[in-house]
Structure 1
Amino acid sequence: MSKKVLIIEDEAKIRRVIKDYLMCDDINILEAEDGIKGIELFEKNKIDLIILDIMIPGLDGWSVCEKIRQKSDVMIVMLTAKSEEGDKLLGYELGADDYITKPFSPRVLRAKINALLSRIDKSKENKEQNQIFIYKHLNIDLKARKVFVKDKEMNLASKEYNLLVYLLSNKNIALAREQILDKIWGIDFNGLDRTVDTTIKRLRAKIGNEVLPIKAVRGYGYRFEVKE
């Protein structure tokens, strides 16, 4: 089945270039020239991935990303001229899955988008069926990709959920930050180790330290510590 990609970018030339490259891969493209229209299109369509510029009229990319993350774990690739470390970190903190700076190679962007879309398919294929993990007040329905704390469903971004399940699947094993980055963000990820720390911090804030048994391993990484 064809994938559907939403491009939210105010420059028509850039939208056209991205569209021309992705349509060669049988990808359906929706376009929005500002943040408000982008959100409207997202809410009316089943979107597999969003290419989101930061400097757009209406609502900027930061605000659009934040609003979408309140409702969905759809993959979001931030596309922007901003390359400062703080801007990239903010994008990941808001739940972006990847970050591409302008100017960019359309071929590289196309390869990256196809890799992310393939990862979605692989995740669905490998998803463990009918399995529910229960630890104290923490319940994870792996089939439905839902997390509950005391019967209340948690609103987790895609990376937050994937990280939680990855730590769970390696319970009581210390995982290095670099190992976590490669698994969750991909080996071509050129971000910071702090991205892992930031995502863990968001998980703790949403789920609660008293419920979430993720322990920091000083100078190394993290461990999902479960007492059998």
Structure 2
Amino acid sequence: MATPQQRRVLVVEDDDTIANAVRLRLVAEGFDVRVASDGEGALAAYAKAEPDVVVLDRLLPGLDGLEVCRRMQAARPVPVLMLTALGEETDVLVGLGVGADDYITKPFSMRELVARIHALLRRVERASLLAHEDAVIRVGDVEIDTAERRVFVRGAEAQLTRTEFDLLRRLAERPGQVFERERLLSDIWGFSEAAATRTVDSHVRALRRKLGPEVVRTVHGVGYALVRP
């Protein structure tokens, strides 16, 4: 049984070698770890264990990781770190679109995996504190309700993931200001590594698909800014 101090992680991975290695490392880090090897088992474990974060393989037998993520988020929103061996940008965007908060490409280091999990948990705690604020940010056609974590574009609600919302909110705090990718990684994901800036790029592309291509401006070689009206 997990102690009150332990955070519970559900690891969904059909490769027994990878799953066991991840489990052992996370247990050593102080997490309470549950493991599932397929989609149906993942959903059952999710409902029973109520994990604080899910490490989810993109490719699974039966229900794939995308469908599993979609069903989990519909039942009870949870931070999801998706494991993928797929390098195509479209696959990454689809994963983010169904509710994954972050992704890491195989092969990965255990050190990076643990850092990403801790970063996800810190973001959830920070979002919980910020939820007590009663403020609406308006930038052009975009309206951000920070208390209810809802976003509207010209009056129509846009369905953003947790990470997309946090990224948009950060950019909206200073419209027009250019944020470096490394700074956004630090502010939103909780770590700053030049090699991981593609994570920011992928989430910005997802934001543009949902809010419109003109909302976020790219400053090549530097980073991104929310466009002033």
Normalising by structure 2, report the TM-score: 0.73
Q: Which residue number corresponds to residue 146 of structure 1?
A: 150
* Pairwise CA distance, 1:191: 3.1
Listed as ranges, the matches of 1:190-205 within 5 Å are 190-193=195-198, 195-205=199-209
The residue type equivalent to 1:91 in the other structure is: V
The residue type equivalent to 2:168 in the other structure is: L
* Pairwise CA distance, 1:132: 1.6
Quickly say closer, same or farther: Cα 1:109–1:179, change in 2 above 3 A: closer
* Pairwise CA distance, 1:62: 4.4
The residue type equivalent to 2:181 in the other structure is: R
Q: Which residue number corresponds to residue 217 of structure 2?
A: 215
| Structure 2 Cα separation of the partners of residues 118 and 178 of structure 1 | 18
1:70-115 alpha-carbon deviations (Å, 9 max, x no partner): 77763222335x3x6x25773355214131534744x664454234
1:30 aligns with 2:34: yes
| Structure 1 Cα separation of the partners of residues 201 and 29 of structure 2 | 35
Pick from 65, 85, 101: which aligns with 2:106?
101
| Structure 2 Cα separation of the partners of residues 153 and 183 of structure 1 | 25
Q: Name stretches of at least 5 consecutive residues in structure 1 with no aligned partner.
A: none
| Structure 2 Cα separation of the partners of residues 71 and 222 of structure 1 | 33
Q: Helix, strand or coil: the match of 2:195?
A: coil
Q: Which residue number corresponds to residue 125 of structure 1?
A: 129
1:91 aligns with 2:92: yes
Q: Which residue number corresponds to residue 187 of structure 1?
A: 192
The residue type equivalent to 1:101 in the other structure is: K
Q: Name stretches of at least 5 consecutive residues in structure 2 with no aligned partner.
A: none
Q: Which residue number corresponds to residue 8 of structure 2?
A: 4
Normalising by structure 1, report the TM-score: 0.73
Quickly say closer, same or farther: Cα 1:219–1:160, change in 2 above 3 A: same
| Structure 2 Cα separation of the partners of residues 177 and 111 of structure 1 | 18
Superposed CA RMSD in Å reads 3.5
Quickly say closer, same or farther: Cα 1:153–1:164, change in 2 above 3 A: same
Q: Which residue number corresponds to residue 56 of structure 2?
A: 52
Q: Which residue number corresponds to residue 64 of structure 1?
A: 68
Q: Which residue number corresponds to residue 76 of structure 1?
A: 80
| Structure 2 Cα separation of the partners of residues 189 and 90 of structure 1 | 22
* Pairwise CA distance, 1:35: 1.6
| Structure 2 Cα separation of the partners of residues 159 and 48 of structure 1 | 16
Q: Helix, strand or coil: the match of 1:190?
A: helix
Q: Identity percentage over the alignment?
A: 29
| Structure 2 Cα separation of the partners of residues 153 and 42 of structure 1 | 28
| Structure 2 Cα separation of the partners of residues 166 and 115 of structure 1 | 16
Quickly say closer, same or farther: Cα 1:88–1:37, change in 2 above 3 A: farther
1:145-200 alpha-carbon deviations (Å, 9 max, x no partner): 2223355432212221111111101212122334334433431463354x444422
| Structure 2 Cα separation of the partners of residues 72 and 222 of structure 1 | 31
